[in-house]
Amino acid sequence: MTIRLYDLAGANPALRFSPYCFRTKLALLHKGLDFETVPWRFTDKSRIAETGQERVPVIVDGKRWVNDSWSIALYLDETYPARPKLFPDAQSRNYARFLNSWCDWSVNPAIRPLAVRHVFDAIDEKDKAYFRESREKQLGMKIEAIGADQVAAAAGFASALKPAEIMLADHRFLHGAEPGYGDYALFGSLLWPFAVCPKDPIDYVSNVGKWFERMMGRFDSWAARQPTVRSLA
């Protein structure tokens, strides 16, 4: 049975850029589970009302609806224990949980100055009023002012990534020899500006950039095949 994923999309439905939805897609790829994505817009709240909340990712597995990327990852490991594990043991789950939290609270805030204005440009007209109001409230400034200083934004981005930059100097992946869910969390975060920025934001000379390229090659180069504003232009 194919799992259905409600996946945040731009005005062009082929453009997908949510870091949280990327986590779920990478988790599904890791598990080797069939899935199809349904393009979903910020204002399509009624389509996921079954979950009692208003955000994606949301998966539908048979009759079961599950929301929240972390809850979905736990659900997939519990429901499909014979498939490759996202969390082989308690330490790797705790490590992944911390990396997930670090992405949410340290990395993603540093990406917003790079990405938010381009997300605004890329989303459907019907989403723009909602997006403007929610992001301007969250960040305390106008969309047009977010990331106005792109030199500072790039420095903040590099600074936020520093713990991973050091780690990846002598580890192929954050989880070691093979990627784990924490790698998917960070990769999902970076795929967000990678998808929406007119100029590729990845520094390929850095350790994180080299790791990003390794991640791009996983699952038969799945991520490398995903559309970006550059490939769609």
Q: Give contact residues for its own copies (rule: CB under 8 A).
A: 88-92, 94-95, 97-99, 101-102, 104-106, 159-160, 162-164, 166-167, 171, 174-176
For the bound state, the minimum distance from the C-beta of residue 159 to its own copies, rounded and expressed in Å, comes to: 8
Give the residue with the Cβ less far from its own copies, 109 or 209.
109
Instruction: Compute CA distances 166 → 91, 194, 224, whole Å.
Output: 21, 22, 25
Q: What dihedral angle (degrees, nearest 10) is formed by the CA atoms of 113, 128, 225, 84?
A: 80
Q: Alpha helices, DSSP H only, in 103-142?
A: 108-122, 125-139
Give the residue with the Cβ less far from its own copies, 84 or 176.
176
Give the amino acid at 125: E
Give the residue with the Cβ less far from its own copies, 128 or 214.
214
**Collapsed DSSP state (helix, strand, coil) of residue 36:** strand
For the bound state, the minimum distance from the C-beta of residue 113 to its own copies, rounded and expressed in Å, comes to: 15
Assess contact for 184 and 154: CB atoms under 8 A. Answer: no
Give the residue with the Cβ less far from its own copies, 15 or 161.
161
For the bound state, the minimum distance from the C-beta of residue 190 to its own copies, rounded and expressed in Å, comes to: 16
For the bound state, the minimum distance from the C-beta of residue 62 to its own copies, rounded and expressed in Å, comes to: 28
